[in-house]
Structure 1
């Protein structure tokens, strides 16, 4: 009533803990965002472990393992063994060749960031390589899931969509890479941090992250392109969104730095071997079984691949494969402007466009394509937007089924296996 004295505040000691927590916007520990993200990620790893162990039990004797290998042995085949070679023996001073001319597969294709970190973990923990490598991948994947969630919340996605995007991330068809001896987990962690810093315009903190990314997976040139688009966008919109001189200098310097970092490893390989084209020749060796030894002509590999897959594998005219590729590229371009993808924000879309363009320029499509698409993981935020329970359950079941298919086709070894992950 008017004129009545205000009621005295309740004694804090008399208010239940749950009520105080609710008033402060907090809840029980199991409702904290990071607990939920880690729980989802661990659930994904349990499912993947069951899948990998099931396939390991049926694995026969092969070039990498004995029959029915244990988990850690099975998780350290393919590129995992190359990373182990790098950690134990470094890089060759001369490039191996098949005929004195054409370079064959060798360690220069594998950047030192991941094996260097695993080597440090081995030194600190005294763990053997197979266990240390899996541990690094597992923890880095958990970190990537946490930062991915924060990135999606930062660009404005709701709590439900952000958490479900982490579910899709954790159960994705290539999520076994989060617990094997591959560099992808570490790279995705660094990339998620880099995208979050870019969205928040914390350019100074990006320098060490960009450098670490460039020595973990080939990425510097793609990220430089994304940064360049970011700088141009901010310059065009500087009247509506101020672009102070300090941020201009930092962002432009960062763009140049990322480009230089992207070229650093090819230069190091050239110095280490005495061959100016050591790195590109090494990378080209992996596509030689498909189309023979060729030179790197930007933007030609996907068209070469479309022709090869159509004619050599499907027995149809190569031009059909090229037409299908052109249609897929056009549809992907349209996708970037769809309302769902626009929800991710302009900076995330810059990265998606830049990395896609980078893949189109240099990568030859084959069984590793699914792994090479992992840096496009922010698109899972768009896929996670529908709130239908049927849709979400169906997507998880589909991803698990595709995960089984990926392990069956790409990870397991059947004699001479030409479908590496």
Structure 2
């Protein structure tokens, strides 16, 4: 059969596809040529609208709950769970005396929640006269925009504009990314954390000091950051090796500023427990409150993970599963894609994971606590340059957003009472 006979029937479709792609390219050209901050901002608005639709759809099916009537509006629906604790801080600040159970142990109270986000909203309310319900989601959403822009700037230190943009897309569609627009401190902390990492990597240690302090007062990331910066400084002080001849050496001025930042990081890590002690007069005000949220009892480092694995899978399969999880992470951490994000982002991710592994009691909130591992979004973008792969990741993440909102954010009573927290 002649070649022209084979090609003929497919030519109209090929021509149509080519015309469509040319149209898409022409339509996208102004966006592609626009400033980076406009592109990332547009991506942020689009992804927040998608999350808004997911929230709004879930709210329509929300039944009776501890906070509002059934089928609440969007702003009411996102102002639940921990947002209500931040709202209490906005209204009444922190108690000078801890609420206690009959045995004298602290009960759940607002000292478990860090102050920067609710106090920022309170300051804006005093200036504008706005309410918590209006200002808190606005502040969280704007902080999420700032976090997106800062994350892109950070990713650009290691990747091209295209790969960095895809990495931000992964971050903004990650299954728990709807948290960036609800009255939680996560979006504000993400912005401060990205800024602190950027400044450290650029060796602007003095500028990083106030950012690190504010970050440690927004979410409990201070200990992890202090460990990360200690490792960063230790690495910089080690002699350069043959395979890293361009490693910048510390000058005397840089060393002094780095040591100052190390001191500030260490103080910031313990700032909130010290403030709680100073206000209440109880040295264990913060740690005792945290213990109440865990169900009471002293914290034994690393033990909660073993206890949870044993509780879920038994005394044999539980520890085996935990060991396999650790092995899987070690393999992933040493993969080619993760190595490409740079030693500092790897050190931060390792430090934060060690912190979680040491103190966290695994539960459904663990998914939300993974947000500070956002550098892995860049590692995901490094896995493949295929548009099909990257697009599939975004679609998969958006589908998992629906799962997260419907399963964990929407409230449904468990047989024994209460519900799994997001």
Same-fold status (TM-score > 0.5): yes
Alignment map for 1:125-204 (pairs within 5 Å): 125-154=128-157, 156-204=158-206
Q: Deviation at 1:50? A: 0.5
Maintained 8 Å contact 1:75/1:130: no
Maintained 8 Å contact 1:303/1:322: yes
CA distance in 2, matches of 1:343, 1:98: 51
1:136-160 Cα distance to aligned partner (Å, 9 max, x none): 1111101111111111111x21111
1:305-342 Cα distance to aligned partner (Å, 9 max, x none): 222232xxxxxx23312221122122212322221111
Q: Deviation at 1:87? A: 1.3
Maintained 8 Å contact 1:95/1:106: yes
Maintained 8 Å contact 2:412/2:419: no
Q: Which residue of 2 aligns with 1:377?
A: 374
Q: Deviation at 1:189? A: 0.2
Q: Which residue of 1 aligns with 2:408?
A: 410
Q: Deviation at 1:100? A: 3.0
Maintained 8 Å contact 1:284/1:296: yes
Alignment map for 1:22-421 (pairs within 5 Å): 31-154=34-157, 156-237=158-239, 240=245, 241-288=248-295, 293-310=296-313, 317-385=314-382, 386-415=384-413, 416-421=417-422
Maintained 8 Å contact 1:122/1:128: yes
CA distance in 2, matches of 1:277, 1:307: 29
Q: Deviation at 1:27? A: 7.1
1:337-381 Cα distance to aligned partner (Å, 9 max, x none): 221111111111110011111111111100110111100011100
Instruction: Tell me the TM-score normalised to structure 2 length.
Output: 0.88
Q: Deviation at 1:279? A: 0.9
CA distance in 2, matches of 1:170, 1:125: 30
Maintained 8 Å contact 1:30/1:36: no
CA distance in 2, matches of 1:122, 1:93: 23
Q: Deviation at 1:28? A: 6.9
Give the stretch that moved more between structures: 255-264 or 365-374: 255-264
Q: Which residue of 1 aligns with 2:12?
A: none
1:380-416 Cα distance to aligned partner (Å, 9 max, x none): 0010121212212211111011111111121111134
CA distance in 1, matches of 2:362, 2:84: 22
Give the root-mean-square deviation of aligned CA atoms: 1.6
Q: Deviation at 1:285? A: 1.7
Maintained 8 Å contact 2:310/2:316: yes
CA distance in 2, matches of 1:85, 1:242: 48
Maintained 8 Å contact 1:220/1:262: yes
Equivalent residues, number: 385
1:244-263 Cα distance to aligned partner (Å, 9 max, x none): 11111111221121111111
1:197-245 Cα distance to aligned partner (Å, 9 max, x none): 0110000001100110111001111101000001110011358432111
| Secondary structure at 2:102 match in 1 | coil
